[in-house]
Chains A and B, each alone.
Chain A
């Protein structure tokens, strides 16, 4: 009696199991694109990147400058790892960690009422006249964070170096 729905449930489950690696690959690519974009936008003007980190007024100047210098390259490195799918889970966790710090930083700007550019995807030295929309920035970061969490939870994905490494090693190579 209960067999038919059972089988249906099983096929649904297996279908989800089959789809997950594809979904993970898609999420990975999306996250990689976000970080590549963010990194590329900043990497050409590190002086501005340093100024932006300083403008959050959360860190001593030397530390802010260090982060301003390093952050664009870290974003690019994470984008690369996510793109090729190497160390996917670790990379996604690091990406999530970065996003959490971004969310804390932007929230603190909002709470303290500092009108500044978030510098998320790079900025010009000049203001564009539009006041920063903090709720929008936070919502966007939160969406990226969810994406990162999904990749971290489902790191097995198609088209990834990880999945190639997962294949058992042939005997003679052992």
Chain B
């Protein structure tokens, strides 16, 4: 507060001067410490923000790069709607569509519950189709598909029900599996209008379905069958798709390897 005048009255003020010096030193040291602390704070801020920013940028770049290299199996399969040679014709029962080799002996029963509007069903089919076709052709698996309609609320035209009825018609002509593949390849988005009945017929013609198929789709007689298959599934506690049963037991692994392992375990 007061600056001591050291020149005058030396003995009395020397103590005060020393005190003042010490005060000044203390202040200087404090200032230096504050400056050092400020510098440390700045350094810390710089390092933390650049660390966080680097981590986030790296994450985004990795995601974009790795993601673009891992296209959906379904995307790759969009063009590939071919079915392995020797794959048996489909037949329809009260509960589903059955595909089994003529010479199969004690095949393991694999059941798929699918809704044709469900993107995960499309992806699953793309992942396991090759394996499944081989297992069926080799007579190791009896494949039963239950086309159920649980996503009618997700299209404006009840596409799930219409598509399930159409695959039922295709099943009667033996070409269920082939037809299902083209329906997956052209799967409409959830929330859309879905494919028109006319388009469903066109796609059937593409895989070689006869005129009887068109009559079947137009007459809409299979709606009742779809309803029955859906109700039966609901009663069995199946509320979401895709659900896969191997030898009656539900499997949860979503790869072709998981499916084959489950079949092997059941053999």
A residues in contact (CB < 8 Å) with B:
46-48, 50-51, 54-55, 57, 61, 65-66, 68-74, 76-78, 80-81, 86-87, 90-91, 94, 115-116, 124-129, 131, 161-162, 165-169, 171, 174
Majority secondary structure of chain B interface residues (helix, strand, loop or mixed): helix
Most buried by B among A47, A71, A74, A126: A126
With contacts A47-B71, A127-B240 known, what are 12 further pairs, Cβ within 8 A? A65-B67, A69-B66, A73-B63, A124-B252, A124-B254, A125-B124, A125-B255, A126-B251, A127-B241, A128-B250, A129-B250, A165-B44
Contact residues, B186-237 vs A (CB, 8 A) = 189-191, 237
Whole-angstrom CA separation of A113 from B70 in the bound complex? 31
CA–CA, A61 and B119, complex, Å: 12
Interface pairs (5), CB distance under 8 Å: A46-B63, A51-B123, A73-B58, A87-B52, A129-B239
Q: Taking the complex as formed, is B243 at the interface, i.e. its CB lies under 8 A from any CB of chain A?
A: yes
Kindly state the separation between the CA atoms of A80 and B51 in the bound complex, as whole angstroms.
11
| Total inter-chain residue pairs, C-beta < 8 Å | 135
Q: Are B52 and A91 in contact (CB under 8 A)?
A: yes
The interface stretch among B32-40, B92-100, B141-149 is B32-40
Closest to B35 in A: A174
Give Cα distance in the complex from A69 to B254, angstroms: 19
Nearest chain B CB to A161 CB, angstrom units: 8
Residue B253 lies at the interface, judged by CB distance under 8 Å to chain A: yes
Looking at the assembled complex, report how far the CB atom of A45 sits from the nearest CB atom of chain B, in whole angstroms.
8
Question: In whole angstroms, what is the CA distance A165 to B48 when docked?
Answer: 9
Tell yes or no: B79 within 8 A of A by CB: no
Assess whether A77 is in contact with B67, with CB atoms less than 8 Å apart.
no
The majority secondary structure among interface residues of chain A is helix
B120 touches A125 (CB 8 A): yes
User: Are B48 and A168 neighbours in the complex by a CB distance under 8 Å?
Assistant: no
Q: Are B36 and A126 in contact (CB under 8 A)?
A: no
Q: How many angstroms between the C-alpha atoms of A91 and B59 in the bound complex? A: 13
Cβ–Cβ < 8 Å partners of B119 in chain A: 51, 54-55
Q: Is B26 interfacial (CB 8 A cutoff)?
A: no
Q: Which of A71, A124, A126 touches B63 (beta carbons < 8 Å)?
A: A71
Known: A51-B120, A74-B60. A168 touches B66 (CB 8 A): no
Query: Given known contacts A73-B59, A77-B59, A125-B127, is B48 in contact with A90 (CB within 8 Å)?
Result: yes
Q: How far is the CB of B263 from chain A (nearest CB, A)?
A: 15
Q: Which residues of A contact B74 (CB under 8 A)?
A: 47
CA separation between A168 and B120, bound complex, in Å? 55
Is there an interface contact between B252 and A69, defined as CB atoms closer than 8 Å?
no
A126 contacts B124, CB within 8 Å?
A: yes
* Distance in Å: Cβ of B252 to nearest Cβ of chain A: 5
Report which of B66, B68, B189, B252 forms a contact with A126, defined as CB distance below 8 A: B252
Q: Which of A50, A70, A129 contacts B243 (CB 8 A)?
A: A129
Is the CB–CB distance between B70 and A46 below 8 Å? Answer: yes
CB distance from B6 to the nearest CB of A (A): 31
Given the contacts A57-B191, A115-B239, A69 and B63 also touching, CB distance less than 8 Å = yes
Ranked nearest first, the 5 interchain pairs of A and B with the lowest CB-CB distance are A69-B67, A125-B254, A70-B63, A87-B52, A87-B48
Given A77, A91, A162, which contacts B44 in the complex, CB threshold below 8 Å?
A162
Which residues from A are CB-within-8-Å of B72?
47, 50-51
**Which residue from B37, B66, B252 sits with its C-beta under 8 Å from A128?**
B252
Chain A residue contacts of B255, Cβ below 8 A: 125
Contact A74 B63 (CB under 8 A): yes
